[in-house]
Amino acid sequence: MNIKNFLGFRPKLLPTIFTVLAMIVLLSLSFWQFKRLIWKNELINVIEKQIQLPSINLPDKVDMDNMVYRKVSLKGRFMNDYEMYLYGGSRQFKGGNGFFILTPMLLKDNRIVIVNRGWIDEKRRDPEKRPETIISELTEIEGYIMPSENRPLYVHDNQIKINLWFYIDLLEIEGHLNRPVENYYILAKTNKETSLKTKDLSPNIRNNHLGYALIWLFSAIALGFIYVYYHKKYNN
């Protein structure tokens, strides 16, 4: 049985090449989104489990396999001269452009932990415009253990020379500070005593991967039908 008898038409070279390549791309995107769906569901389950546990004091050594997203308390002094500015948060806090304030905290054992203290409108980025956030005395905070981040897709590289950050890469921060930092950072819990806006860690994370996966899958199927229809209409 030849291809013409099997399909009911004689495939044309260029449409066939285009269709095969396009379907490979579409099916690859669909598969990737299904993988992301599995990863996101696992992440949500881990966060949901961890935030239900009671808060503990930050241990000397953090086992990231078991303690990521765990709620902890820690005491130290903010290294205010080394603040960093993480762009974002406008959707989360329904405001204009702004920055999360990342401040190293020096613990009593000389460990340095990066703390995401909360969000501020870009108009108040400069410390002089928010003196109430510049805390020099020994301070105790509560927050969640968070992992270092890789650059997300379609996100700018960190602009280290101008102290502008788009994601929290702790190795880059360590190089920027020229001193060792812990391999996790702390996401500060909601604190009504500061003008920095915070939100508690939540498992309610956007999870649209199933929808995207189905869109790519059905697009591949539709392209296949169009390919067959085209050839049957013009070759018969």
pLDDT of the residue at 108: 94
DSSP state of 118: E
pLDDT of the residue at 180: 96
One-letter identity of residue 114: I
Say how far apart CA 144 and CA 129 lie, in whole Å: 27
- Residue matched to tokens 């969000």: 119
Number of H helices, E strands in the chain: 6, 8
pLDDT of the residue at 5: 55
Indicate the pTM of the whole model. Answer: 0.80
Mean pLDDT in the chain?
88
pLDDT at residue 183 is higher than 90: yes
What average pLDDT does this structure show over 82-110? 89
pLDDT of the residue at 235: 63
Give Cα 40 to chain centroid, integer Å: 11
Contact status, residue 98 vs residue 120, Cβ threshold 8 Å: yes
- 231 or 224: which leads in pLDDT: 224
What share of the chain has pLDDT > 70, as a percent? 93
Please give the angle made by the CA atoms of 156, 46 and 147, to the nearest 5 degrees: 35
What share of the chain has pLDDT > 90, as a percent? 61
pLDDT at residue 128 is higher than 70: yes
